[in-house]
């Protein structure tokens, strides 16, 4: 409490107004009550004892009155001294009890018992805890003393009893009871008020939590919507740049490469923000597919080798021999994302030397295998004091990292969260300018032979030449892009500008598959698919449908399969991804 009281203050109201804590306010009131009642009782003693010539009693009461007046004055001007005053009052009470026994009364009378109770009560209300327990034991000691010594032995030799006559003790007994009642009342009132304050605080907290949650949810919706809006035009930019490159003359190729590189960079930033957003809301779920890690790592290696070669770095892939023919159940997309992030960083932050990706089988038991992954480099390293921080979102090792190397500081935060889904944690071993090694251990389930065959079959490419696909899309740029791309693969196309047109077209023409946008005017992709699945011609009703969407809803797969579509591909997509998806979906039907 900040004290702003004058040296001579006589207003309790002012003191209480400065103290926000209801329990502390009650403590001040309890001490003042005890002091005021002590003065009244001592005045009674002075009056009666003087009448009967009990000078020691008069002296003791006089001292007590003086101390009480001084304490009241201090408390009213410096309430922060309350804890010290509480201790002194309890010690004085202890002295009074002992002096009653040894000097004035020589046995335990009702006033002494009241004082013992009062001291116990006040010590818990004012001080509490172990210290209050100590005072309690000390004030109980006189009772023990009485049990140990007979009545005659209590008073030290030569001291004559000066017990107050009943006309003095009766009002004191009454005043003690009053102190009891008021002290209890004050503390109970403060306790109740305190509980009400806590309840109100709790309700406010719940309200704030709900508001924060709503805010987080709306931020996530905002990010999803924004990225959806960004991804659709980006699809056109990336796709067209890719197509243009085929027809471009040599000097245009460099410009197109830069255009494609920048668009892909922008896409990866959008994807990072989205992924982080999804992982923050626990919306990422792992898919479990049979995966040959050797093949997967080979793909990642060749995907990154161009980047490494550009910087003159050696990109080494070490694979434990035992992994060669093993197929494990895992999410290849997310695992690839983790390795790509780590190895991408390693290449980015290394100027010369080697980047090594290594997979080591640790233990193989029944159908389980522990694999230790590590990505190490000979780059700039990470100072020990920044090694924890770099896993936080939007955090980089130093303030000039973005300027020198680019990036958003989201990659490692995503890696950390993704690895949590794999029940793993990332470890970093690095020092300034001595390279860095990121490593983690994942426990995989090994696949049965039948699943292994599936995995190997899925990896086989199939030509799309000669197929005829229906493009259902309302965005002209995307239609143009798909037409050009598919014609490059010698796939014939038809176009419908909305879901209803697609259903009508399918009734009059034959197609091998449909590429279906989701959000369209007149009839959306979900309703169009449901209508197609109800067609009477079984060949048309069962036509393979692949959704092409910029949506990032975490229930997308569930939604499109419930509507009757086979799979989806995200906008913007790389041509290879579309080719692979078409192979996967159309292959079993047409080959």
If binding is defined by CB under 6 A, does position 332 make contact with ligand ADP?
A: no
If binding is defined by CB under 6 A, does position 345 make contact with ligand ADP?
A: yes
Task: Tell me which stretch binds ligand ADP (CB under 6 A): 150-158, 203-211, 407-415, 442-450.
Answer: 407-415
**566: which 2 tokens?**
């086979």
What single-letter DSSP state applies at residue 351? S
Smallest distance from the beta carbon of 435 to ligand ADP, in angstroms?
A: 7
If binding is defined by CB under 6 A, does position 339 make contact with ligand ADP?
A: no
- Of 510, 359, 536, the C-alpha closest to 441 is 359
- Whole-angstrom CA distances from 232 to 25, 225, 229, 477, 573 are 64, 11, 6, 10, 10
Peptide bond between residue 588 and the one before it cis (omega within 30 degrees of 0): no
Residue from 259, 390, 485, 503 binding ligand ADP (CB under 6 A): 390
Cα radius of gyration (the chain): 42
Smallest distance from the beta carbon of 31 to ligand ADP, in angstroms?
A: 58
Question: Residue 225 or residue 262: which is nearer to ligand ADP going by CB?
Answer: 262
**Which is it for the CA torsion 215, 218, 224, 226, positive or negative?**
negative
If binding is defined by CB under 6 A, does position 410 make contact with ligand ADP?
A: yes
Q: What phi, psi does 546 have (nearest 5°)?
A: -115, 125
If binding is defined by CB under 6 A, does position 497 make contact with ligand ADP?
A: no
Task: Tell me which stretch binds ligand ADP (CB under 6 A): 237-245, 298-306, 404-412, 481-489.
Answer: 404-412
If binding is defined by CB under 6 A, does position 401 make contact with ligand ADP?
A: yes
If binding is defined by CB under 6 A, does position 346 make contact with ligand ADP?
A: yes
Question: Residue 136 or residue 336: which is nearer to ligand ADP going by CB?
Answer: 336
Question: Exposed/middle/buried for 181, CB within 10 Å: 0-12, 13-18, 19+?
Answer: exposed
Task: Tell me which stretch binds ligand ADP (CB under 6 A): 19-27, 64-72, 373-381, 555-563.
Answer: 373-381
For the chain, give percent helix, strand, coil, nearest 5. 60, 15, 25
If binding is defined by CB under 6 A, does position 515 make contact with ligand ADP?
A: no
Smallest distance from the beta carbon of 282 to ligand ADP, in angstroms?
A: 20
Cα separation of 506 and 239, whole Å?
27
Question: Residue 41 or residue 417: which is nearer to ligand ADP going by CB?
Answer: 417
Smallest distance from the beta carbon of 424 to ligand ADP, in angstroms?
A: 17
Cα separation of 123 and 528, whole Å?
79
Question: Residue 380 or residue 441: which is nearer to ligand ADP going by CB?
Answer: 380
If binding is defined by CB under 6 A, does position 408 make contact with ligand ADP?
A: yes
If binding is defined by CB under 6 A, does position 412 make contact with ligand ADP?
A: yes
- Whole-angstrom CA distances from 381 to 178, 301, 430, 432 are 75, 22, 6, 5
For 447-538, list the strands marked E by DSSP.
468-472, 492-496, 513-517
Binding letters toward ligand ADP, positions 416-455, x by CB under 6 A: --------------------x-------------------
Cα separation of 243 and 259, whole Å?
12
Smallest distance from the beta carbon of 382 to ligand ADP, in angstroms?
A: 5
Q: Which residues form the interface with ligand ADP (CB under 6 A)?
A: 341, 345-346, 349, 377, 379-382, 390, 396-397, 401, 407-413, 436
């Amino acid at each position: 409490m900040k004290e702003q009281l004058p040296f001579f203050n006589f207003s309790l109201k002012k003191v209480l107004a400065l103290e926000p804590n209801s329990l502390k306010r009650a403590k001040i009131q309890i001490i003042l009550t005890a002091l005021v009642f002590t003065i009244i009782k001592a005045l009674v003693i002075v009056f009666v004892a003087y009448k009967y010539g009990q000078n020691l009693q008069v002296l003791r009461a006089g001292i007590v009155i003086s101390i009480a007046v001084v304490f009241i004055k201090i408390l009213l001007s410096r309430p922060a001294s309350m804890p010290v005053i509480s201790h002194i009052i309890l010690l004085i009470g202890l002295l009074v009890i002992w002096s009653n026994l040894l000097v004035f009364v020589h046995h335990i009378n009702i006033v002494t018992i009241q004082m013992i109770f009062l001291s116990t009560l006040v010590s818990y209300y004012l001080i509490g805890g172990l210290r209050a327990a100590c005072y309690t034991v000390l004030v109980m000691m006189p009772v023990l003393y009485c049990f140990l010594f007979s009545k005659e032995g209590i008073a030290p030799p030569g001291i004559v009893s000066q017990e107050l006559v009943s006309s003095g003790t009766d009002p004191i007994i009454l005043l003690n009871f009053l102190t009891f009642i008021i002290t209890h009342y004050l503390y109970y009132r403060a306790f109740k008020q305190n509980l009400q304050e806590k309840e109100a605080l709790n309700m406010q907290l719940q309200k704030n939590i709900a508001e924060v949650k709503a805010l987080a949810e709306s931020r996530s919706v905002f990010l999803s919507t924004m990225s959806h809006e960004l991804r659709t035009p980006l699809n056109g930019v990336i796709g067209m740049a890719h197509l243009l490159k085929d027809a471009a003359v040599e000097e245009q190729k460099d410009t197109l490469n830069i255009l494609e590189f920048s668009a892909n960079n922008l896409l990866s930033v959008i994807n990072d923000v989205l992924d982080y957003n999804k992982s923050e809301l626990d919306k990422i779920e792992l898919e479990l597919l049979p995966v040959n890690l050797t093949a997967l790592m080979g793909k990642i290696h060749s995907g990154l080798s161009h980047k490494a070669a550009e910087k003159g770095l050696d990109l080494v892939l070490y694979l434990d021999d035992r992994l060669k023919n093993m197929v494990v159940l895992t999410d290849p997309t997310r695992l690839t994302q983790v390795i790509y992030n780590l190895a991408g960083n390693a290449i980015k932050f290394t100027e010369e030397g080697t980047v090594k990706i290594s997979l080591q089988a640790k233990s193989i038991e029944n159908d389980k295998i522990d694999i230790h992954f590590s990505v190490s480099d000979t780059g700039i390293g990470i100072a020990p004091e920044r090694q924890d921080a770099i896993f936080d979102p939007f955090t980089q090792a130093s303030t000039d990292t973005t300027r020198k190397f680019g990036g958003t500081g989201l990659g490692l935060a995503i890696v950390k969260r993704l690895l949590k889904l794999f029940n793993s944690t990332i470890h970093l071993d690095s020092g300034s300018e001595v390279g860095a090694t990121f490593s983690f251990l994942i426990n995989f389930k090994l696949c049965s032979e039948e699943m292994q065959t599936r995995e190997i079959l899925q990896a086989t490419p199939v030509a799309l030449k000669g197929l005829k696909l229906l493009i259902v899309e309302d965005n002209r740029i995307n239609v143009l892009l798909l037409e050009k791309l598919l014609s490059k693969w010698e796939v014939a196309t038809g176009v419908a500008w909305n879901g209803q047109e697609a259903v009508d077209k399918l009734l009059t023409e034959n197609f091998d598959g449909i590429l279906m946008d989701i959000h369209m005017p007149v009839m959306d992709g979900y309703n169009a698919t449901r209508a197609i699945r109800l067609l009477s011609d079984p060949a048309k009703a069962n036509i393979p449908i692949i959704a092409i969407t910029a949506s990032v809803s975490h229930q997308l797969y569930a939604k499109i399969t419930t509507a009757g579509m086979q799979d989806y591909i995200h906008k913007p997509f790389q041509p290879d991804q579309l080719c692979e998806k078409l192979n996967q979906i159309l292959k079993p039907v047409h080959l």
